Structures are given as C-alpha cells and as structure tokens.
C-alpha cells in the first residue's frame, strides 16, 4: 500500500524529533511505498540536510514553517491570495467569499475563546463542533483561493478576534486581551494554520495515498485531517509524547502575556481533540501518553499502545556478559560493582542536584562508592549554566581524594562525555557501573532506562512519566525530589549483588520482549493491514487503464458488501420460520452440525450439512447458505 508519512520538524531531516523512529519504520516495512510530507521548523534544520532515504520512499514534499511573514511559502502553491479580499489588492473578490472567511474565522475564534461547561467531555460540547466548522471551512477556502497566511494576519482578522474575545461567555483572561495581545495571537494562529495553505491537497499528492500516518499530533496531523476531509483517506496518529502537554510546560518560558498564552492553549486543546476524534486509530507510546489522549477526547476503543522500538543489538554484548556473569555469581561492571552511573542530557528537568545530594548519603553508608555522570548539556544557555552549577556543587560536596602522599587526588564524582578512548559508546557507559540511576522530575518515555535494561543492569528511578510502566517490577522506583529515598535504594542494591544480578536479568528479558524494533514493526504492520481492510478502493484512477477502460478485478466484489468483508452478515443466513420450528421435534445434532460458539451460548440459527464432493458441490447446497 501507499503510506503518506506526515512529520513536523523531524524525518527526513538529519535533526529533529522522531527521526530515528520514522527511519526505522520506513526501512523495516519495504513491502509498502512511502510518500513523505515534512514540515521544517527552522532554517538551521534545513541546512543540516536529509538522512539517506531508502528506495521505498517514492516522493518527498516539504514546507517550512519558519518563513518570514513577507516571504512566499515554498510548497504553498499560492494562486491569488485570499488575503487580498481582506487587505485589498489588484484582484477583487465578491461578497460571498468575504462572508465565508468572516463566518469561518468567527466560528474558529469562538471555539478557542469559549471554554466548555464544567463536566463536559472533551469533544462532546458545542465548542468542538464550532472548531471543526471553522477549521474545515477555512481549509476549503484556502484550497479554492490559494492560501490564507496573509489573510490571517490582516486587520480584519484582528477585528474578528477582538469582537469574539469581548463576547459573553469567554473567560476573564481572554476578555482582558489588548490589541498587542491579539496581534501576537493572530501571528501565532497564522503560523499554526500554515498547513492549510499548502498545495498538498489534490489527487496527485495526499489524494493518492491509501493511508496517512502522522508521526505526532498538532501541525503534523493537520494535513492528515484535510486528506480525510477531502479524499476520505484514513488517518493514523502516533504520539510518543504529548504535544499539548509540551505546550503547557513551555508556556511559562513564553515571552507572551497571560491572555496570549490562554488563547494558544485553547487553540492547541481544540486541535488535539479534533485530531483524536478524526483519527481511525491512535497509537500512544506508553500509558502516560494514553491517559493524556483519553483526557483530550480520544476513544479508548481506537487506542493501541505501541512502544517505540529501539535497537537492542548495539547493547547485546554488554547484556550477554552481564547475564553470563550473573549466572556464575560474579560481579559485573568495568567500573566496579560499587559504581553508580547516570546517562542522559544534562538539563534542569533531570534533577542532578538531587542526585548529588543523594550520593552524599550513599557515601556515608558506602565510602568506596563512585558516581559517573555521562552526558552533554542540552541545547541552550540554561543547560550549560546548569551543568556548571552541578560541577561546582560536586566539587564542594566531594573534594578530591588521594590514596597516598605522592598520588594525585581524584573525586568520587566525575562528569564525562561519551566518545573517548575509555568510553567509546553508550554500551560501554552502561557497562561502567553496577547500578544505573535516573533522577528526573519530568520524563516522557525513559529511553536511557530501556538502554540500561538491554544491558542487563539493575536500575533505581524516580516515579515520573512512563517509568513504572517501563520498569514493570524489574527495578527500584522512588518518589521524585527525595534524595533520602534515592540514596536508600542505591545502597540497598550496592550491598546485595545477587539482587542486582536478578533484577538485571529480569530487566533485560522484559526489554527484549517489549521494546525492540521488531516488536514495533510487527505492531504497525498489523495496524496498516487493519486500517486498509476497512477501506475499499476509492480512486477511479486505480480501476481504469490508460485508455479509460475498466481494469478486470480492480474492485473486489467484497468491496460492495456492507459491513466487515471477512465476517458473514445476517443477509447471508436464512431466517428460521417460527411456525416450522415449532412443528419440528427436537433431535440429536447431525454430523457436521455447528455447536454453540461458547459454553452455555445459544445454538446457531442454522446448521451446515457436510458439503458434497465434485465440481458442482456448491450448487448442491441450500440457497443462501453463503458458500457461493
């Protein structure tokens, strides 16, 4: 089948989120053909180039979301901007188009500014219907007129937003929005709705795919919503994180005021609800994401938890060594069994400050213990400052120690980077200690924890995000921001090598069962087939040849039947005659008769006699028995 893979700030670019996962998905399913529809987030990302694409990628369409306001959106296909009908221009438009734009934008803004009543389920209130009406109305207008991004930044848009925000029923925070606030929100709204102005919505682009697979919610799923709206293409949404939650967490660092943040939160919340409502299947990466999706309106019957697949072979040697040494009752760890290891990106959410204070307690109980921190600061000045603060605190808490009068002092805490001669890769970093520690206060899917499990290491983690779901009883979990509890758990494992080996072996077995690339590919292979089985041939171009003549067997007969193709419907079964059934006495079941489907269940309405042999066997059966 032909899959339209939708990404936002990731694949096929060399940097960005979900890049590795998308690449493994495309390469792992060579029987399918992939069309990539990618949104880029910055000029720097585009300058980094693309990864090498496999042959099953037949086409790549890209569009930047970072273009300046006065620039032309590449890939937007602007054929006479609708903005001219609002701001004026060489070409004039009629009253009907102006009214359509005003009505659709008013409906969208009303849904954003007006919260649902308390107790209303997500997607059930009138706000969700208003948002859908406004969003798809603007999309149809953009498709007809060639784009909306200048229209959404016009004075008319600001006037509409001002009128809606002052209306009765809106929140007090929104009512206090000033004109500068509305101008800032209009700019952000235009940027979020730029996918509506792209030229991807025709029979040669998204209309030509069998299935749209969005690698995340938000902007990446917008083209999928329009493909379903215009062409009936089913939409599959995969989320390893929660875009709405990420927006909430980043709002505190936003330069905008409270009214703008409230309006943006309203828009992203409505968009998430609409994406979950329209998706045929939603695949969260863990239970933590699944709960957020359900809270935002996702149907539990349409959710399938699919853990992100990770390459286990790169950790195979370390994991096998740990398993072999643990079975022999020997200690493992190149850095010694008394060494704690932390691996990850250094940033405030990892809470290394609490880890250092916890290690001070560990040193009091186990004076020979060491802590090795492997990682580099995340992007940004804040992360670099945080790393310097952690190094200063470590130097203050743990001064250098020398074993003799003529030896150089070495501190028990070291900050190291992966890639040197001693630690050339991630596997060697996890092998450098006996216990792996995760001290985060905010975490989604703990990748470093799964890597440690592949290496057969015992772990001590804080109870955040999907940690408990990933660990599943194969490690110790403590509350976040509790250095005392973290220290006690580390000391308990350092003093019990048999327990360390037992937990490490169980962790490796669990990781190999649940978190491998093969498991991930098998899940999506089945989901693709499930979705396409419910979608008959939709495009006329697939049923005719180059001369317009119908192709034999292009449309299977099953496509014309109601209901699921593989389940016999009631119209194929003869209805029993009540009068005749009352006249026929009860007798034993004949050979070949059907038994009840389950113990205690009702008898089937009819029985199938043994089928006769021969080429005319079908004709010998009773009429309507479904054999034909």
- Over residues 51-88, the pLDDT tens digits come to 999 999 999 999 988 765 444 444 433 334 443 444 43
pLDDT above 70: residue 291: yes
Does residue 243 come out as left (phi exceeding 0), alpha (psi in the -120 to 50 range) or beta? alpha
* CA 263/CA 2 separation, integer angstroms: 38
What is the percent of the chain where pLDDT is above 90? 55
**Secondary structure of residue 242 in the 3-state scheme:** coil
* CA 303/CA 440 separation, integer angstroms: 28
pLDDT above 60: residue 276: yes
* CA 464/CA 249 separation, integer angstroms: 15
Predicted local confidence at residue 554, as pLDDT: 65
pLDDT, mean of residues 291-299: 91
pLDDT above 50: residue 355: yes
What is the pLDDT confidence band of residue 490, given thresholds at 50, 70 and 90? very high
Predicted local confidence at residue 321, as pLDDT: 82
Cβ(32)–Cβ(56) under 8 Å?
yes
Q: Measure the CA angle with vertex 480, ends 374 and 472; round to 5°.
A: 80
What is the pLDDT confidence band of residue 407, given thresholds at 50, 70 and 90? low
Predicted local confidence at residue 624, as pLDDT: 42
pLDDT above 60: residue 162: yes
Predicted local confidence at residue 578, as pLDDT: 53
pLDDT, mean of residues 228-254: 85
Sort 255 into a burial class: Cβ within 10 Å, 0-12 / 13-18 / 19+: exposed
Residues 6 or more apart whose Cβ sits within 8 Å of residue 228? 212, 234, 235, 278
Predicted local confidence at residue 90, as pLDDT: 36
Nearest to 169, CA basis, from 130, 197, 195: 130
* CA 277/CA 50 separation, integer angstroms: 33
pLDDT above 70: residue 96: yes
Predicted local confidence at residue 575, as pLDDT: 57
Residues 6 or more apart whose Cβ sits within 8 Å of residue 224? 4, 6, 212, 213, 214, 233, 235, 237, 275, 279
Counting Cα atoms < 13 Å in the Cβ hemisphere of 574 gives: 12
Record the tokens describing residue 561, joined without a space: 């039947």
What is the pLDDT confidence band of residue 620, given thresholds at 50, 70 and 90? very low
* CA 622/CA 463 separation, integer angstroms: 63
What is the pLDDT confidence band of residue 198, given thresholds at 50, 70 and 90? very high
pLDDT above 90: residue 170: no
* CA 129/CA 230 separation, integer angstroms: 18
Mean pLDDT for the chain?
82
pLDDT, mean of residues 80-104: 61
Torsional sign, CA 250, 254, 258, 261: negative
* CA 193/CA 87 separation, integer angstroms: 19
* CA 224/CA 301 separation, integer angstroms: 20
pLDDT, mean of residues 8-20: 85
What is the pLDDT confidence band of residue 35, given thresholds at 50, 70 and 90? very high
What is the spatial order of strands in the sheet that 458-462 belongs to?
Answer: 413-416, 370-374, 339-343, 435-438, 458-462, 476-478
pLDDT in tens, 566-576: 554 555 455 55
Least confident residue range of 31-45, 61-75, 464-478, 563-577: 563-577
pLDDT, mean of residues 119-146: 89
Predicted local confidence at residue 584, as pLDDT: 44
* CA 121/CA 236 separation, integer angstroms: 22
More confident: 574 or 557: 557
pLDDT, mean of residues 466-494: 96
Predicted local confidence at residue 319, as pLDDT: 82
Counting Cα atoms < 13 Å in the Cβ hemisphere of 354 gives: 22
Cβ(426)–Cβ(418) under 8 Å?
yes
pLDDT above 80: residue 488: yes
pLDDT in tens, 418-458: 887 778 889 999 999 999 999 999 888 899 999 999 999 99
Least confident residue range of 84-93, 137-146, 438-447: 84-93
Torsional sign, CA 355, 361, 362, 363: positive
Predicted local confidence at residue 43, as pLDDT: 84
What is the spatial order of strands in the sheet that 2-8 belongs to?
Answer: 57-64, 33-40, 2-8, 211-214, 235-239, 281-284
Record the tokens describing residue 271, joined without a space: 């968009």
What is the pLDDT confidence band of residue 340, given thresholds at 50, 70 and 90? very high
Q: Output the CA–CA distances (angstroms, integers) from residue 319 to 274, 376, 429, 498, 506, in the order listed.
A: 44, 24, 13, 16, 11
Least confident residue range of 305-319, 341-355, 517-531, 588-602: 588-602
In residues, how long is the chain?
Answer: 628
Q: Output the CA–CA distances (angstroms, integers) from residue 32 to 211, 259, 282, in the order listed.
A: 11, 46, 20
What is the pLDDT confidence band of residue 379, given thresholds at 50, 70 and 90? confident
Counting Cα atoms < 13 Å in the Cβ hemisphere of 482 gives: 14
Question: pTM higher than 0.85, yes or no?
Answer: no
**Secondary structure of residue 459 in the 3-state scheme:** strand
pLDDT above 90: residue 492: yes
pLDDT above 50: residue 295: yes
Predicted local confidence at residue 92, as pLDDT: 45
* CA 24/CA 367 separation, integer angstroms: 45
pLDDT above 60: residue 183: yes
Cα radius of gyration rounded to whole Å, the chain: 30
**Secondary structure of residue 322 in the 3-state scheme:** helix
What is the pLDDT confidence band of residue 150, given thresholds at 50, 70 and 90? confident
Q: Output the CA–CA distances (angstroms, integers) from residue 416 to 282, 322, 344, 360, 376, in the order listed.
A: 40, 23, 11, 19, 8
């Amino acid at each position: 089948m032909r899959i339209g893979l939708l990404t936002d700030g990731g694949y096929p670019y060399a940097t960005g989120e979900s890049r590795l996962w998308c690449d493994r998905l495309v390469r792992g399913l060579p029987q399918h053909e992939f069309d990539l529809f990618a949104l880029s987030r910055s000029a720097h990302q585009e300058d980094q180039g693309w990864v090498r694409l496999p042959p099953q990628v037949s086409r790549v369409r890209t569009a930047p979301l970072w273009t300046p306001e006065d620039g032309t959106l590449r890939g937007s296909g602007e054929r006479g901007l609708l903005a001219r009908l609002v701001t004026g221009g060489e070409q004039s438009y009629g009253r009907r188009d102006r009214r359509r734009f005003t009505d659709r934008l008013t409906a969208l803004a009303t849904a954003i500014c007006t919260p649902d009543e308390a107790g209303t389920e997500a997607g059930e209130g009138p706000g969700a219907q208003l948002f859908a009406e406004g969003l798809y109305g603007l999309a149809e207008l953009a498709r007809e007129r060639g784009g909306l991004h200048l229209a959404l930044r016009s004075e008319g848009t600001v006037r509409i937003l001002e009128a809606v925000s002052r209306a009765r029923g809106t929140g007090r925070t929104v009512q206090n929005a000033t004109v500068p606030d509305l101008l800032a929100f209009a700019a952000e709204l235009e940027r979020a709705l730029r996918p509506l102005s792209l030229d991807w919505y025709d029979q040669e682009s998204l209309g030509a795919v069998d299935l749209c697979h969005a690698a995340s919610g938000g902007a990446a799923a917008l083209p999928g919503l329009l493909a379903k709206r215009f062409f009936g293409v089913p939409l599959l949404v995969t989320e390893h994180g929660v875009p709405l939650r990420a927006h909430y967490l980043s709002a505190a660092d936003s330069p905008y005021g409270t009214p703008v943040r409230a309006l943006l939160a309203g828009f992203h919340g409505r968009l998430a609800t609409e994406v979950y409502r329209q998706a045929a299947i939603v695949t969260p990466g863990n239970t933590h994401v699944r709960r957020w999706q359900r809270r935002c309106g996702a149907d539990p019957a349409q959710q399938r938890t699919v853990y992100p697949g990770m390459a286990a072979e790169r950790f195979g040697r370390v994991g096998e060594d740990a398993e072999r040494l643990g079975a022999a009752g020997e200690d493992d760890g190149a850095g010694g069994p008394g060494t704690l290891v932390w691996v990850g990106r250094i940033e405030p959410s990892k809470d290394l400050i609490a880890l250092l204070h916890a290690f001070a307690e560990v040193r009091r109980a186990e004076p020979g213990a060491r802590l090795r921190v492997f990682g580099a600061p995340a992007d940004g000045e804040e992360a670099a400052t945080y790393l310097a603060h952690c190094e200063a605190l470590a130097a203050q808490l743990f001064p250098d120690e020398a074993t003799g009068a003529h030896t150089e002092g070495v501190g028990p805490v070291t900050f190291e980077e992966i890639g040197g001669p001693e630690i050339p890769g991630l596997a060697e970093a996890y092998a450098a200690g006996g216990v792996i520690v995760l001290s985060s206060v905010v975490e989604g899917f703990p990748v470093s924890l799964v890597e440690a499990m592949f290496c057969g290491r015992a772990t001590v983690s804080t109870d955040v995000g999907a940690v408990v779901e990933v660990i599943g009883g194969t490690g110790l979990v403590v509350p976040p921001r509790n250095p005392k509890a973290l220290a006690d758990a580390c000391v308990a494992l350092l003093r019990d090598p048999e327990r360390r080996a037992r937990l490490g072996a169980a962790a490796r077995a669990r990781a190999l069962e649940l978190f491998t690339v093969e498991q991930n590919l098998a899940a999506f292979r089945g989901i693709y087939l499930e979705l396409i089985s419910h979608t008959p041939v939709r495009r006329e171009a697939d049923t005719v040849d180059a001369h317009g003549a119908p192709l034999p067997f292009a449309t299977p007969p099953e496509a014309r039947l109601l209901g699921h193709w593989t389940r016999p419907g009631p119209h194929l079964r003869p209805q029993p005659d009540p009068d005749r059934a009352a006249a026929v006495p009860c007798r034993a079941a004949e050979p070949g008769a059907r038994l009840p489907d389950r113990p205690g269940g009702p008898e089937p309405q009819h029985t199938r006699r043994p089928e006769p042999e021969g080429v005319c066997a079908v004709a010998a059966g009773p009429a309507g028995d479904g054999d034909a």
